[in-house]
Amino acid sequence: MVTLTHYLALSALLFGIGAVGFLIRRNALIIFMCVELMLNAAGLAFVAASRYRGLLEGQLTVFFVLTVAAAEVAVGLALMVAIFRTKRTTNVDELSGLRG
């Protein structure tokens, strides 16, 4: 019997992998993909909870999350294109114009 816990554990795992990837990768594009993976994991948790509780809200939330993700991608990639024009790189270590 597959329970909600199964799904939540899977989504936690995917989320964790994404979060670790966010911290260790240096290519801004891949960092951003890791965020997409995390969003996806959150979506899975929402839909699973929605199914096991017999409520539609979770699915609608994921629908909105997907929309927001599309807008985020449009904006994020535009920023990277803009940076690439001036810096010719998407490696975050080489973006040292600002110190931490």
Partner 1 sequence: MGELIAFYLLAGIAVATALAMVITRNAVHSALFLVLNLVVVAVFYLLLGAPFVAMVQIAVYAGAVMVLFLFVIMMLGAERVGGTTGLRWQVPLAGALGAALIGGTLFAFLRAPAGLAPVGSPPVPFGDPAAIGERLLTTYVLPFEITSVLLLIAMIGAVVLARDSGPEGK
Partner 2 sequence: MELSWWAHLWSVLPEIVLVLAAALMMAVDAWLPEGRKRELGYWAIGGLAAALTVTAVQAAQLAGGIAVPYEAFGGSVRADLAAMLFRVIFLLAGILTVAISMDFRPLRQSGEYYILLLISVLGMGLMGAAVNLVMLYLALETVGIALYLLAGYLRDTPRSAEAGLKYFLFGVFSSTIMLYGLALIYGFTGEIAYARIAQALAGLPAPAVMAALLLILVGFGFKVSAVPFHFWTPDVYEGAPTPVTAFISVASKAAGFAVLIRAMIEAFPTAQANWVAIMAALAFVTMTVGNLLAIPQRNLKRLLAYSSIAQAGYILIGIAAASPLGVAASIFYLGIYTLMNIAAFAVAVIMTNVTGSEEIRDLAGLSRRSPGLALAMLAALLSLGGIPPLVGFFAKLLVFAAAIESGLLWLAIAGVLNAMVAFYYYIMVARAMYVDRSPEEEKPVWISRPARFTLWFTVAGVLLLTVLVYPLYLLAQMAAQAF
Partner 3 sequence: MLQGYAVVGLYLLLSFALLGVVLLLWWFLRPKKPNPLKLETYECGVQTVGDAWVQFRAQYYIFALIFVLFDVEAVFLFPWAVAYNQLGLYAVIEMALFLLLLLGGLLYAWRKGALEWA
What the block records as the tokens of 2 is 């597959």
* Nearer CB in complex with partner 3: 20/77: 77
Q: How far is the CB of 83 from partner 3 (least distance, A)?
A: 11
Residues from 29 through 48 that contact partner 3 (CB under 8 A): none
Neighbour-count burial for 65-76, b at 16+ CB within 10 Å, e otherwise: eeeeeeeeeeeb
- Residue 10 binds partner 3, judged by CB under 8 A: no
- Residue 9 binds partner 1, judged by CB under 8 A: yes
- Residue 17 binds partner 2, judged by CB under 8 A: no
Interacting residue with partner 3 among 67, 87, 94, 95 (CB under 8 A): 67
Residue by residue, DSSP assigns 34-60 as HHHHHHHHHHHHHHHHHHHHT-SHHHH
Among candidate residues 88, 4, 87, 73, the one with its CA nearest the CA of residue 40: 73
- Residue 88 binds partner 2, judged by CB under 8 A: no
